[in-house]
Amino acid sequence: MRLGRSGSKGAAQSGLSLAFCFKARLARDRSGPRAREGLMAFLSERQSEPELMDQPGLETVEHRGALAALRRVNWLSRSVPELWKELRKLARGYDQGQPLRVLDIACGGGDVAIRLAIRARRHGLPITIHGCDISETALAVAAEYARRADLAAMEFFRLDVLNEPIPKGFDVIMCSLFLHHLSDADGARVVRAMSLAAHKAILIDDLLRTSLGYALCWVGCRILTQSRIVRIDGPLSVRAAYSRQEVERLIDRCGLAGATIKRHWPERFLLAWEAP
């Protein structure tokens, strides 16, 4: 099912209504405290399970279909407008005689980076954005999408961020929907590496692990896409996501003094930190 803007808006409203109904039903379930306690226990801590998207043997056709579905989900989540607010602020305060250089790590199909680049072009702000990912399929999709957006100069390159250093020379290092894929130890290691590699700031946008977030994800993945991958991986991602308290502990663990956390639709957070 392909949705235009009006269709996406209608789907979003329907999905939100269904999600609240789903949550309300759980809350008043006649099976009583056992059901409610089961839901709370279900999301009480991070539960990481292998996601289909991360499997090396994933068929290219299914992988591309899942990336297209995620592009739709990312548009609806409005993460790009939230990230753009931070990038615009950083770019306007940047006076180095050259563009603000941004790297999106684990960029997937590149839709977030490309939509940010389109906004920078539209507003006439000197920002250059590039992306990296471990998946050759994702990088090929990102390059194709960039060419269609007349952004062929954008670079998308392969990087295994867990085993290779983040390249220097970027003012802002960002990631979207990547942190929840990592263990606590790897997450802290990657965030520290981002903070050391970035000349100016890091931005991390990801899911929050809440009952509403789980309901929204479960319903949304079934309304917005027929992708088997996304329908399975979406709820798994929420179960693996951080709570706000866990994000705060991660900030302390990585020594990101002055970092801010902003909660935004649909049950996501944006972590922003500027280098001293």
Pairing of strands 127-133, 156-158: parallel
Q: Mean pLDDT lowest for which of 7-16, 50-59, 82-91, 127-136?
A: 7-16
Query: CA–CA distance from 87 to each of 99, 136, 166, 184 (Å)?
Result: 12, 27, 20, 27
Of 32 and 103, the structure prediction assigns the larger pLDDT to 103
Q: What is the mean pLDDT of residues 119-133?
A: 96
Percent of the chain scored above 90 by pLDDT?
68
Query: Could you count the other beta carbons within 10 Å of the beta carbon of residue 247?
Result: 20
Quote the pLDDT of residue 4.
35
Q: What is the mean pLDDT of residues 231-241?
A: 94
Residue 259 pLDDT level (bands cut at 50, 70, 90):
very high
Quote the pLDDT of residue 96.
67
Quote the pLDDT of residue 31.
52
Of 249 and 66, the structure prediction assigns the larger pLDDT to 249
Please say if the pLDDT value at position 25 is more than 60. no
Query: CA–CA distance from 227 to each of 68, 73, 99, 160 (Å)?
Result: 9, 12, 38, 26
Of 229, 224, 170, 217, nearest to 194 (Cα)?
170
Please say if the pLDDT value at position 37 is more than 90. no
Domain residues of the chain, as ranges? 5-274
Q: What is the mean pLDDT of residues 142-155?
A: 96
Domain 5-274 = CATH 3.40.50.150? yes
Please say if the pLDDT value at position 22 is more than 80. no
pTM to 2 decimals?
0.85
**Start-to-end Cα distance in the chain:** 47
pLDDT digits (tens, 9 = 90+) for 183-209: 999 999 999 999 999 999 999 999 999
Quote the pLDDT of residue 194.
98
Please say if the pLDDT value at position 19 is more than 60. no
Is the separation of the CB atoms in 176 and 207 below 8 Å?
A: no
Percent of the chain scored above 70 by pLDDT?
85
Structure token digits, residue 27? 């809350």
Please say if the pLDDT value at position 20 is more than 80. no
Q: What is the mean pLDDT of residues 91-117?
A: 92
Residue 36 pLDDT level (bands cut at 50, 70, 90):
low
Structure token digits, residue 243? 């709570």
Quote the pLDDT of residue 208.
97
Query: Within its chain, how far is the Cα of 57 from the centroid?
Result: 23
Q: What mean pLDDT, rounded, does the chain reach? A: 87
